[in-house]
A and B are shown apart, each in its own frame.
Chain A
Amino acid sequence: MKIFLARPAVRIAIAAAFMVLFVVAPLVSTPFLNYQFSMIAVFAVALLGLNVVMGYAGQVSLGQSAFLGLGAYIAAYGVSHDWPISVVFVLSCVIPAAVGMLVALAAARLRGLALAMVTISLPIIGVPLAKRFPEFTGGSQGTTVSWLNAPGWSGLADDQWRYYVVFVIAAVLFVLGRNLVRGRIGRAFAIVKSNEAVALSMGISPYRYKVLAFTIASLFGGAAGFLYVAIVQYTSPETLSFATSINLVAAMVIGGSASILGTILGAAYYIVVPVLAGQVDSTRTALISGALLLAVLFLLPHGLVSLPRRIVQLVNGIRRRGRSTVIDPPGDNTARGTAVEPESQEQTQ
């Protein structure tokens, strides 16, 4: 099964099947589902940024929502002033990236929780600032915009058109992100994460790569903010609140740290679980989400992305227990170890 999946032709076929699914799905589904799918794409981009800095480079960030919110405000401001959309998009990426870089230049020499504290203060400071300058942000009520309506020639409904726009941008960003973390920079991140002294001795400056990781994370955060305004057509201080940051971190770990597929699963979790919990019993959303989060962590400490591996492990365990009346062969363990190896390596790359 695993070898079959590892064949390039099979992988391309699966990817193509998914692409077709993504392209056809909005044409046949409801506006509500299209909205949810688009939101998954939006938050997948934000989580990708978070995963770059936390999962791949190992630097705790509890401030991703600040960049999401900043990008969203810039997008909303630009749109309401009729700036060209391409300019708005570039600004929503570049300004958060610049802010992220400035913060990181000062903070990247901190470690662990001191760094976490600096990142916590971004949303904490951001929310009252956003409320204080209503001429830019709309204050506590937030800003509503109306844009990105489907052009007449396309024959699409607004939700379908927005879905496609968001999906194309998110897909491009994901290809960029994937190449980044699999390439030279990604390897440097991995060394900085595992041991800064080793990184230094190899001529990799931990400081510079940490700043780079934060900059990339805030760039993706800003881009996600742009996409958020494209789908929701509204933003408020709520978007950049500390609670959003916390939930993003939870979603990232739930999906799978340092994994591209895990990022997408995490985003799906982030969007789907509250909706489902609300449908089960709207007064118990928190109870159900919390219990589910704990349950996933208990069963899959490495995130949803480790589900197939975990199933293989459990099946092997049951099989072995069936045979264990004879002798538990030590060779079996090593065989399992090597069988798991390629997948876990692939994730850390």
Chain B
Amino acid sequence: MAYFIQLVVEGFATGSIYGALALAIVLVKRATGLVNFAQGAMAVLATFVAFGLTQAGVPLILAMAVAFAFAFAFGAGVERFVVRRFEGGDPDTAVVATIGLLVFITGVAALIWGYEPRQFPSLFPLQSIDIFGVFVSVRSLGTIIVLVVVMVLLQTLFRLTKLGLAMRAVADNPQSAALSGLPVSRLLMVGWGLAAILGTVAGVLVAPQLFISPGMLDFALVYALAAAILGGLDSPIGAVVAAWFIGVVENLAAAYIDVIGNDLKIIVPFLAMLIILIVRPEGLFGRKVVVRV
């Protein structure tokens, strides 16, 4: 039983990392209506900024703060100078532009820091604590708590602040929002900036485990995409719940189903997702879109 709980907690922790990236994808999707394949690469670049600063002797917390500021500016800049060009055009072209960004940003990170994976300092101490006979690593608990805090902050931002209201208005109907005097262009930039910060949270959380390299989040991006779509793409809570679901199911399947093992564990959440999507095409938490003909 203790082993089972440990597996579940580890699953939640991995799921939290996918969840942070999935939140970023959902935020961008809501703001500009496109799926950003470069979300992971942007996060890695910002994480590298934190890495560079810690190498130079800056304390980790301060380095992370600078990395978040960089991520915000970079995300806003990408929206303004790259994505803006493709908004309102063919959606396929816009998505391929983000693929171009993915390749390009990975190239930039590799140019500066190389492809070699490097050690990244951990935010949490590397020890386990004993909770009622179950040993849980502080890192896992910390990761889960960070994600929950991030989610609460995000919900507060969107539900209780004027900025959040304005961003929801722009996501809902850019034309009407512009007509009622909202600075749509700046709000879109804020949306992308916030998403880039969320991605960086995922990057900083996962870097100590995976070691930092330009392709570090490529795989997590697939999971995050899956979580975002499974959650319904519109719903931040849905994305996080779906990400946890994927993390936990994957971990349990690897441990308890012998045929599956570690190499095939990725199949289980994806098959589950296929079945869920076929039964509920709008995702677990998505609204059914009714289109007027």
Q: Which chain A residues have a beta carbon within 8 Å of chain B's beta carbons?
A: 54, 60, 106-107, 109-111, 113-114, 116-118, 120-121, 124-125, 128-129, 131-132, 197, 242-243, 246-247, 249-250, 253-254, 257, 283-291, 293-294, 297-298, 301-302
**Residue B266 at the chain A interface, CB threshold 8 Å:** yes
Q: Given A117-B273, A246-B37, A301-B89 in contact, is the A287-B107 Cβ separation under 8 Å?
A: yes
Q: Which of B102, B281, B293 is in CB contact (< 8 Å) with A114? A: B281
Q: 8 Å CB contacts to A: which residues of B211-230?
A: 214, 218, 222, 225-226, 229-230
Q: Which of B108, B111, B267, B293 is in CB contact (< 8 Å) with A197? A: B293
Q: How many residues of B contact A (CB 8 A)?
A: 46
Closest Cβ of chain A: how far from B230's Cβ, in Å? 7
CA distance A283 to B293 in the complex (A): 52
Asked if A290 and B107 sit within 8 Å, CB to CB, the answer is yes
Asked if B270 and A106 sit within 8 Å, CB to CB, the answer is no
Q: 8 Å CB contacts to A: which residues of B240-293?
A: 263-264, 266-267, 270-271, 273-274, 277-278, 281-283, 293
Closest Cβ of chain B: how far from A122's Cβ, in Å? 9
Asked if A110 and B277 sit within 8 Å, CB to CB, the answer is yes
Determine the chain A residues whose CB is within 8 A of the CB of B214 once the complex forms. Answer: 286
CA distance A91 to B12 in the complex (A): 43
A290-B107, A301-B86, A302-B93 known, 7 other contacts, Cβ within 8 Å: A113-B233, A128-B267, A131-B263, A246-B37, A257-B92, A284-B111, A290-B105
Asked if A132 and B103 sit within 8 Å, CB to CB, the answer is no
Q: Given A250-B99, A290-B100 in contact, is the A114-B270 Cβ separation under 8 Å?
A: no
Asked if A125 and B266 sit within 8 Å, CB to CB, the answer is yes
Asked if A129 and B102 sit within 8 Å, CB to CB, the answer is no
Determine the chain A residues whose CB is within 8 A of the CB of B266 once the complex forms. Answer: 124-125, 128
Closest Cβ of chain B: how far from A281's Cβ, in Å? 10
Closest Cβ of chain B: how far from A103's Cβ, in Å? 9
Determine the chain B residues whose CB is within 8 A of the CB of A125 once the complex forms. Answer: 266-267, 270-271
A-B contacts counted at CB < 8 A amount to 127
Q: Which residue of A lies closest to B97 (CB)?
A: A297
**Residue B65 at the chain A interface, CB threshold 8 Å:** no
Determine the chain B residues whose CB is within 8 A of the CB of A290 once the complex forms. Answer: 100-107
19 pairs, CB–CB < 8 Å, chain A vs chain B: A106-B278, A114-B229, A116-B35, A117-B229, A117-B273, A120-B222, A125-B267, A125-B270, A246-B102, A250-B96, A250-B99, A253-B93, A254-B96, A257-B93, A285-B107, A286-B104, A287-B110, A290-B104, A293-B103
Asked if A294 and B101 sit within 8 Å, CB to CB, the answer is yes
Q: Which residue of A lies closest to B280 (CB)?
A: A114
Q: Given A117-B229, A242-B222, A290-B106 in contact, is the A253-B96 Cβ separation under 8 Å?
A: yes
Closest Cβ of chain B: how far from A276's Cβ, in Å? 15
Asked if A287 and B108 sit within 8 Å, CB to CB, the answer is yes
Task: Give me the 3 closest cross-chain CB pairs, A-B, nearest first.
Answer: A290-B104, A287-B107, A290-B103
Q: 8 Å CB contacts to A: which residues of B91-123?
A: 92-93, 95-97, 99-108, 110-111
Determine the chain B residues whose CB is within 8 A of the CB of A114 once the complex forms. Answer: 229, 277, 281-283
Closest Cβ of chain B: how far from A28's Cβ, in Å? 34
Asked if A118 and B107 sit within 8 Å, CB to CB, the answer is no
Determine the chain B residues whose CB is within 8 A of the CB of A286 once the complex forms. Answer: 103-104, 106-107, 110, 214
Q: Which of B103, B218, B278, B282 is in CB contact (< 8 Å) with A107? A: B278
Q: Which residue of A lies closest to B99 (CB)?
A: A250
Closest Cβ of chain B: how far from A142's Cβ, in Å? 16
Q: Which residue of B lies closest to A292 (CB)?
A: B100
Asked if A294 and B229 sit within 8 Å, CB to CB, the answer is no
**Contact indicator per residue, chain B 51-69, by CB within 8 Å of chain A (1) or not (0):** 0000000000000000000
Q: Which residue of A lies closest to B92 (CB)?
A: A253
CA distance A242 to B219 in the complex (A): 10
Q: Which residue of B lies closest to A303 (CB)?
A: B93
Q: Which residue of A lies closest to B102 (CB)?
A: A290
**Contact indicator per residue, chain B 4-48, by CB within 8 Å of chain A (1) or not (0):** 000000000000000000000000000000010100000000000
Closest Cβ of chain A: how far from B270's Cβ, in Å? 4
Interface core residue of B96, B110, B222 (most chain A CB under 10 Å): B96
Closest Cβ of chain A: how far from B99's Cβ, in Å? 5
Q: Given A284-B111, A289-B107 in contact, is the A128-B264 Cβ separation under 8 Å?
A: yes
**Residue B130 at the chain A interface, CB threshold 8 Å:** no
Determine the chain B residues whose CB is within 8 A of the CB of A283 once the complex forms. Answer: 110-111
Determine the chain B residues whose CB is within 8 A of the CB of A289 once the complex forms. Answer: 103, 107
**Residue B82 at the chain A interface, CB threshold 8 Å:** yes
Determine the chain B residues whose CB is within 8 A of the CB of A132 once the complex forms. Answer: 263-264
Q: Which residue of B lies closest to A125 (CB)?
A: B267
Asked if A257 and B111 sit within 8 Å, CB to CB, the answer is no
CA distance A286 to B35 in the complex (A): 21
Determine the chain B residues whose CB is within 8 A of the CB of A117 once the complex forms. Answer: 225-226, 229-230, 273, 277
